[in-house]
Amino acid sequence: MIKVLFVCMGNICRSPTAEGVFRHILRQKNLDDKVEVDSAGTHGYHAGEAPDQRTKRAAAVRHYDLSNMRARKVAAQDLDYFDLILAMDHNNLGVLKRICPPDKHDRLGLLMSYSKNFDDDEVPDPYYGLGHGFDLVLDMIEDAANGLIESLEQRLIDEGDADAVAPAANQVDSMT
């Protein structure tokens, strides 16, 4: 089992979107029993709250269900538990680097490093912007999530779990 954690600041916009998109793709590719996914924030401002209404609306239009998610703050045990901890931007990656033991820094990265169609290395925070920012966030996260899935499929093959990936390889990617 590969364990992935998506991280933004408050865990009500970008990281729950990444979690929802990624879960959806994992189910499509029959990899949800091979990859565990969660999301958290570097700050506990919104702990216990559902994702932002605008985030949920934009996700629902594309058939992603974020309704059962609740914001939480990154916990010390997350840094040991998750194999891959992907921040949405450099500020949150910096926070993770400060709280993460140096021997675990190889687990940290930026989600957009898996993007194939965007040159940006950060997912912009749509919270204080206009509504269209939530759609851009979805576009960027969908792209990076597909790149991440490819990377994890290769990792599963390299680890000798080719059977888990083979049936999914023939499926067509359909986001809607």
Q: How confident is the model at residue 128 (pLDDT cuts 50, 70, 90)?
A: confident
Per the annotation, the verdict on 13 as an active-site residue is no
Residue 70 CA: distances (Å) to CA of 12, 17, 55, 125, 149: 8, 12, 13, 18, 24
Residue 171 pLDDT exceeds 70: no
**Domain containing 158: what range?**
2-162
CATH (domain of 65):
3.40.50.2300
pLDDT at 166: 53
Sheet-wide strand order for 2-8: 35-41, 2-8, 84-87, 108-110
Q: Which of 38, 89, 125, 143 is labelled catalytic?
A: 125
Per the annotation, the verdict on 125 as an active-site residue is yes
Neighbouring residues of 85: CB distance < 8 A, sequence distance ≥ 6: 4, 5, 7, 78, 79, 96, 100, 107, 108, 109
Decide if 173 is inside a domain. Answer: no
Per the annotation, the verdict on 8 as an active-site residue is yes
Tens digit of pLDDT for each residue in 133-148? Answer: 999 999 999 999 999 9
Q: Which of 13, 14, 23, 107 is labelled catalytic?
A: 14
Decide if 171 is inside a domain. Answer: no
pLDDT at 164: 59
Neighbouring residues of 96: CB distance < 8 A, sequence distance ≥ 6: 7, 42, 74, 79, 85, 87, 108
pTM for the whole structure: 0.90
pLDDT at 24: 96
Decide if 76 is inside a domain. Answer: yes
Decide if 170 is inside a domain. Answer: no
